[in-house]
Structure 1
Amino acid sequence: MSGVSKPGVSGPDRKTSMNSITAPLQPAAKPRSRLRWPDARSWLAAAQWLVTLLLCAFLIVPVVMSIMAGLTVNYFKGLSSGLTLRWLAEVWTQYHGSVFLSLEVAAATLLITLLTGVPAGYMLARSKTRLSRIIEEFLVLPIALPGLASALALLVVYGGFTAFRMSVAFIVVGHVVFTLPFMVRAVAAVCASSDLRTLEEGAASLGASFVTRFVTIVLPNARPGIVAGALAVLTLSIGEFNLTWMLHTPDTKTLPVGLADTYASLRIEIGSAYTILFFIMTMPLLVAMQWLGVDATGQRSAAQPRGAASSAKSASKSINTR
């Protein structure tokens, strides 16, 4: 009885059926992998990266070489001559007055452009008349003209006032003429993009005066443009050379003018050390623009600062406290 198999399935047939069940479970043979040639999009991306890196090297390498020249004992011998801070010390000893004068001129320029440029940018954004567009074109005109032409125009008009001509205020006026368009355009761009008219009408319906609306609604919404314009004004004022060279006197020599003098009359190491000092002054402003997320037009790369509702609430709150 033990030798008798179960009816319906024989021994060989049972092995065949088991093999047919387990066959699909066995891993299939992997096809041989072939090296694919990069497509056109990959080649285009690689070319873009290559061009970007070459441009960065073209811009950054001269700056690095100039910095290294200001830190080496002898520029012509290179790093083998050793590193030193002697040239920086000499530049600070001889030209620290120019550094402080540049900061004073930049601060005065910023104050004047804030007091005049913010209201001007707001009014140009609100007004849609042809006269406002003509005024805007006249404000931008100093940017289109060379700095020497603007300086010559100031000399022709105000050069006869000797006390004013010899003072630092004359350079401040020139810097205001040059940097005011950047403040006006930055503020106007933000005011035109945000719905300030609706907010102001709502605040006016609640009884808010123009001053209240300007302080509690316009300024908070225009803050990105104001910050962008302020940083642009400071950077341009500190680095302005053409206009300042035409307007300066021996007693009103700013940082860029002193830099030109060092490269023209002193050793290249001192001129490069002066460049390092100039670099230290301007880099924090550029980093601040990136950190605050604003560009030259006043727009934020991140989210908008506050909602419109918060501005309306602050306006109504200031009205209710009266």
Structure 2
Amino acid sequence: MRDRLIFSGQLVFTLGVAAFLVVPAILSISAGVTVNYFRGISSGVTLQWVVQVWDLYADTIFLSFVIAFATLAVTLVVGVPAAYALHTSGGRLSRIVEEIITLPIAVPGLAIALGLLFTYQGFGSFRRSWLFILSGHVIFTMPFMVRSVMAVFATVDVKTLDEGAASLGASPARRFLDVIVPNAVPGILAGALMVVTLSLGEFNLTWMLHTPLTKTLPIGLADSYASMRLEVASAYTLIFFVMIIPLLVAMQMFADRGHGK
């Protein structure tokens, strides 16, 4: 009896938390497919607001995915070798470098953006391009890739594997690609999920770095809520969920499959 009461209480609490998180999103999405939000569903269901949002903000959606996957590519190319170097070298210097790489997690996004603005304000073409936002996203998400890969390296005897491959005549590049990277796949997949998720949803840093021609999904969403009628903003939220959730579910499934190998 006691166990049943505990289970019932846990179930009610879990359902309550889920409702607290999900219901506002459902209400926001439903507003995007109603003719008039203030009259509710009784006013009719329509996709005109979704079409209007797509016409106005399709470029922000495309740019967000370009930046997110470009951020992922850079963090993979830089972060995985960096994690390997930090793990194998050890010592005080490696610890200092590791803390420097992790620092953007503790620093507010606005502070990072201000630093980039002060540093590159004289590079006009770079400042106006989406590459400027990409640089901010790379700085912000790099710690998550490095930390995820290092966590996997901590559970694997990387040094012995590397030495074994070297004794068989493998070059450093071959050892890294054929031995080190395959053993780091679970960490790489977990880091990739974090990087893409953070990049797609990042607002504070992006808001400081963007220009009228380099708006991303969160910036467009904020603009639509500030300047459009509520139905249009809610339709933008609907598109955001439709674009993001399948991607995140697919990446999570891929990551779980990688962990299961």
2:179 maps to 1:217: yes
Greater than 6 Å deviation, 4+ residue runs: none
Name structure 1 gaps, 5 residues minimum.
Answer: 1-37, 306-322
Q: Specify the SS of the correspondent of 1:292.
A: helix
Structure 2 residue aligned with 1:131: 93
Where does 1:1-322 land on structure 2 (aligned, <5 Å)?
38-39=1-2, 41-294=3-256, 300=259, 302=260, 305=261
Distance 1:290 1:107 in 2: 16
Report the AA paired with residue 39 of structure 2. Answer: K
* Number of residue pairs the alignment of both structures matches: 261
Distance 1:190 1:62 in 2: 37
Report the AA paired with residue 215 of structure 1. Answer: L
Distance 1:140 1:256 in 2: 24
1:250-277 CA-partner distances (Å, limit 9, x unpaired):
1111111010000001011111110111
Structure with more of its chain in helix, by fraction: 2
Q: Specify the SS of the correspondent of 1:75.
A: coil
1:255-302 CA-partner distances (Å, limit 9, x unpaired):
11010000001011111110111112211232124313449xxx82x3
CA drift of 1:132 comes to 1.3
TM-score, length basis structure 1: 0.78
Distance 2:19 2:214 in 1: 36
1:106-149 CA-partner distances (Å, limit 9, x unpaired):
12211111110110111222232122121111111111111111
1:181-202 CA-partner distances (Å, limit 9, x unpaired):
1111111111221222222121
Q: Which has the higher contact order (CA 8 A, sep 6+)?
A: 2
Name structure 2 gaps, 5 residues minimum.
Answer: none
Report the AA paired with residue 103 of structure 1. Answer: F
Identity of paired residues, percent?
A: 58
Distance 1:183 1:253 in 2: 25
Question: Which range is displaced more, 200-209 or 178-187?
Answer: 200-209
Contact 2:193-2:252 at 8 Å conserved across structures: no
Distance 2:234 2:253 in 1: 28
